[in-house]
A and B are shown apart, each in its own frame.
Chain A
Amino acid sequence: MISLRDVSKRYGLLRVLDGVSLDVERGEVVCLIGPSGSGKSTLLQCVNGLEAIDGGSIAVDGEAVHGRGTNINRLRQKLGIVFQQYNTFPHLTALENVALALRVVKRMPRRDAEAAAARQLAYVGLDGKADQYPSRLSGGQQQRVAIARALAMQPHYMLFDEVTSALDPELVGEVLQSLRKLRADGMAMLIVTHEMAFAREIGDRVAFFQEGKLVEVGPASQVLDAPRDGRTAKFLGRAAQ
């Protein structure tokens, strides 16, 4: 379980996270929605320890992410993260992108790592692209390489940070398809998204963020169709326009 308790973070005077508490169970899919700058992406970065927190605690399977004694490199292997801007490694082929951490972190022999990487690329539908460099791939394909790269580490949880926001509209579908497949396979996911229809479809629960606060969280259909909080309703009204 990913467990956030009263998490706070500020940049100078700006409170980007303000007393956020949220749990994600194994196998559960939680979608984070809310206006830009509301702290959703920062939250994901905090969960995998790329960002520090100023208050509260975040635990993954009972281990504190920001704890002093925590081996963050080991803990991060449980948490795959995929970024808005793909961040594929440009000097490596698709296959090498996926195999690199298997060799360096998991210390797998090159052949085993590449065989595992090939399986992950096939999983996201990129079998034929293994030897291509990112510069030769479309945004959607690069994003799927990034998903395969994270999945190769066999994480318990996947964090998705607006993974379709930088994509051309016609490329969004292929990336969302990979997420659907993951859900069907029981992967626990924390998904920051602006695609309301997708959040409704894939989310067990939806959490609405505004100004660093978790305004409302509940079953996807309840939050999206019958929000209890006026701020959620207002945001959804604007998003629907």
Chain B
Amino acid sequence: MLDYQFHWRAVLADLPELLGGAVVTLQVTALSVIVGVPLAVLLAACLRGGASARRPARAFIEVTRNTPCLFQLYLFYYGLGALGLNLPSFTVAVVAIGLNNAGFLADTYRSALQAVPAQQTAAARSLGMSFLNAFWHVVLPQMARIAYLPTVNQVVWAMLNSSLGTLIGLRELTGVTQFLQSRSFRTLEFFLLTAALYYVLAKALMLAAALLGRRLARGAP
């Protein structure tokens, strides 16, 4: 059992293909965040609104948070497929993981919204700003500061979740790894290398987030 011979050369020769998979992983992650974050803001606003806005938002959050992400992918891929709507696995991954992001971030954003004093809106409105302008220029930046770190955590989580895309045929990092290891039988080498790549991607995201976050911290006491 312990006389396994590592053969890295063959594995490293396939590195460009692996990195191609990593690019798909990052694309799915980025697009799922672009889908999820605005939707989460909208859900947060609905949660603070009247019953007719609050109830559907709450129902959506309950479903996305309390069913497996893999199930949600299957629902969009095979479920909609059964209805004759065959979406590409890339699209499904973006939409399903995006909705999952929204469900997990909505309550965080609701409390962030609550943490911005109502007087801030009153001050902005008193200057003649419309409700939307007051929200965009005064409330949202303050909310973003509070919700930033939880959002970064969710981005990393979405990146790791995107590996589930393999199961609907998406050729992202895990999918490519599966293919390459089955072709070469260097299973352990490929899985170790891919684990390292995921680790580097997650750390790179955190680092990028820390750099971007410095601008958000403007004026913090």
Contact = CB atoms under 8 A, between A and B. Distances in A.
Interface of A: 48, 50, 73-74, 76-77, 79-81, 83, 85, 87-93, 100-101, 104-105, 133-135, 146, 149-150, 153
B122 A50 contact: yes
A78 to B, nearest CB: 9
Contacts, number: 70
Give the secondary structure class of B's interface.
helix
Interface residues of B, number: 22
A90 B137 CA distance: 12
A191 B31 CA distance: 52
Nearest to B218: A91
B123 A89 contact: yes
B138 interface: yes
Contacts of A87: 117, 119-120, 122-123
Given A85-B119, A91-B142, A104-B137, A134 B130 contact: no
A167 to B, nearest CB: 17
A91 B128 contact: no
Interface string B119-161: 1101111111110010001100110010000000000000000
Contact of B141 (A48, A74, A91): A91
Contact of B133 (A76, A79, A105, A150): A105
B16 interface: no
Contacts of A48: 126
Contacts of B120: 87, 89
A104 B129 CA distance: 7
Contacts of A81: 126
A101 B145 contact: no
Nearest to A134: B219
B218 to A, nearest CB: 6
Given A50-B122, A89-B138, A150 B221 contact: no
